[in-house]
Chain A
Amino acid sequence: MRTSQTFRYLIGPLELLHEQAGPRLLRLTRLGVFLLWITKLALDPLWRLAELPRDLLTPTGFLSFFPPSFYDYFLTTTNLTTFLFLTMAVLMLCLTDRAFPLVSTIAAVLLTAYSCLIRSFGPAVHTDIVLLLAVYVLAGFAWADFFAIKFGHKKSSPGSWNSFPLVTIVALLCLSYMLVGFNRAIAGGPRVFTGDTMETWTIDASLRGYYFNTNVGWHIPEWPTVVLMLRLGLPIITLFEISAPLCLVSSHYRWIFIPTMLSFHLLSLVLMNIFFFDDMLLYLLLIDWSRRYPSLRAPQLSTI
């Protein structure tokens, strides 16, 4: 009996994250997502891509449908600068909530084009993909709200719909981790977790140096404790990745998941120059704000 109670206490309450979310929380999420994109674009000298040789370009995603002549026209300093400022202007319009379904859809298309373009000069890396999907979610659910109201949905009131996009964004974030974990554990097999694999990945990333270049990771053969930490860390992190969807249901799990994965991402920055800061900012959505602050709850639930 006591064991069962202790076990229940350890697991904690199983409640769906953001189930009570109100319009303010959704509005704050929209502001956060679009402001983050605006900041990213404001810091990006996209026009410099015009200086790179065209033979380096392998179009990614829907950009592969365009003929090569399109890139001769598009990849000029003027056009890239125009495209960047146009995208930022549309993102700023998204902050105003005016005609949000339409404006956010245009933003989603422009951001997809931007993300495809910057990945056309290298591999399709995973940073900021969930942030892009978050824009899809916000745009998609805004259209869903529009059509559900237009066709008079009766089952639930629009006041209770705020949780839908928020839960979906968290679900996509957790799903991305789960897919990474499954892929490593199943496709990579046990050999990924044994031998020198993790040291090899670390030294390779550290030697290559990306935007952040800490120049630390390639020293690890000199540090046996760090090597041990990396070897033990990979299976532990993979377990957390596979079980990430539990974040949707368990607050206790979230309080273990958040510090563990934050430490992992920070260590990846120090040792491998890889920084997933977009995902780290999306961790703010792993906190059930509406249960803590009544002002962020749906109107009919704020008195509970």
Chain B
Amino acid sequence: MSKLARAPLKLHPGIAIPVIAVCIALIVWLVSFVVPFALAAQAYAILLALLSFRYWPPMTQWVQRMPLPHRLIFGVLIGSMILGHLTIRSAAYFPFIGWEIFPFAREEDPVTCRELIATTASGQKVRLLVEQLYPSIVQISPLNENRPDLMEHLVKAMARTYNEHHALDPVRHVDLMVMAVKLHPPANESRAQPSCELLKRFDISSGH
């Protein structure tokens, strides 16, 4: 007696796709009780992207052609990058980090920023930028006047480095300024420069 083969369930794509989408949304919603929604949703999005490559024949053939050591390296690197991202920790597992660029909404008006403006012996005003005096540093954390000791150490180090390269016109004092740019300035307001306000002055001429 031959066994009857079960006919495959046929669903119109117009029904199947919404059903799948609802199922995925339901799973993501359920998982979001265990891990934050943003992470669960990202994990599923990444999974879907990986699966679409997994079933693309040229990619399958390419991976099948790989000897085992190559597959291991490929899997470890891709996997580490994804896991590192899902940890959303920027420094701990470097270079497998959370990939966050413009990651959240910011709506502040005016936009403010701390700057260090040095005045040299000749009276010239020079902006001191950590990233230019120490080009190894791609970006430094925003200056924070709430840590006065650290700020003073940093300012003195920057002035010293600047003076090493400008011995004829050294820095005499450095001003910590807060610069502000209005997102929606009044029409009659001059916008040649951002408005600035002095927060603190550091005297450098003492020779420290």
Contacts and interface: CB of A to CB of B under 8 A. Distances in A.
A260 interface: no
Given A133-B81, A203-B111, A221 B154 contact: no
Contact of B95 (A129, A178, A179, A187): A129
A164 B131 CA distance: 37
A209 B127 contact: yes
Contact of B129 (A48, A156, A210): A210
Main secondary structure of the interface of A (DSSP, over half): helix
Interface in B107-151: 107-109, 111-113, 115, 127, 129-142, 149-150
Nearest to B52: A245
Interface of B: 38-39, 41-42, 45-46, 49, 53, 56, 58-59, 62, 64-70, 72-74, 76-78, 81-82, 85, 90-95, 97-109, 111-113, 115, 127, 129-142, 149-150, 153-154, 157, 160-161, 179, 181-185, 191, 194
A248 B58 CA distance: 11
Interface string A223-255: 000000000001000000000010011000000
13 contacts: A45-B134, A55-B153, A118-B136, A122-B137, A122-B140, A133-B77, A133-B95, A175-B78, A176-B81, A191-B105, A204-B106, A208-B113, A245-B49
Most buried by B among A122, A179, A209: A179
Given A126-B101, A164-B74, A196 B194 contact: no
Contact of B101 (A143, A153, A184, A221): A184
Interface string A191-206: 1101111111101100
Most buried by B among A52, A137, A145, A196: A52
A264 to B, nearest CB: 11
A198 B102 contact: yes
A120 to B, nearest CB: 8
Contact of A200 (B45, B72, B108): B108
Q: Give the size range of A's interface with the partner.
A: 35 or more
A16 B138 CA distance: 35
A16 B62 contact: yes
Interface stretch (A30-38, A58-66, A90-98): A58-66
A198 B101 CA distance: 12
A143 to B, nearest CB: 7
A178 B99 CA distance: 9
Most buried by A among B70, B92, B141, B184: B70
A56 interface: yes
A294 interface: no
Contact of B65 (A156, A204, A210): A156
A124 B91 contact: yes
A49 to B, nearest CB: 6
Contact of A61 (B78, B94, B98, B127): B94
B183 A221 contact: yes
Nearest to B53: A245
Contacts of B140: 56, 121-122
Interface in A39-75: 43-46, 48-49, 51-53, 55-56, 58, 60-62, 64
Interface string A265-284: 00000000000000000000
A16 B62 CA distance: 9
What 7 A-B pairs come out closest when comparing CB atoms?
A61-B94, A53-B153, A144-B69, A207-B113, A191-B105, A148-B67, A187-B38
Interface stretch (A3-11, A165-173, A285-293): A165-173
Contacts of B97: 124, 126, 129
B81 A175 contact: yes
Given A48-B136, A188-B105, A204-B111, A15 B58 contact: yes
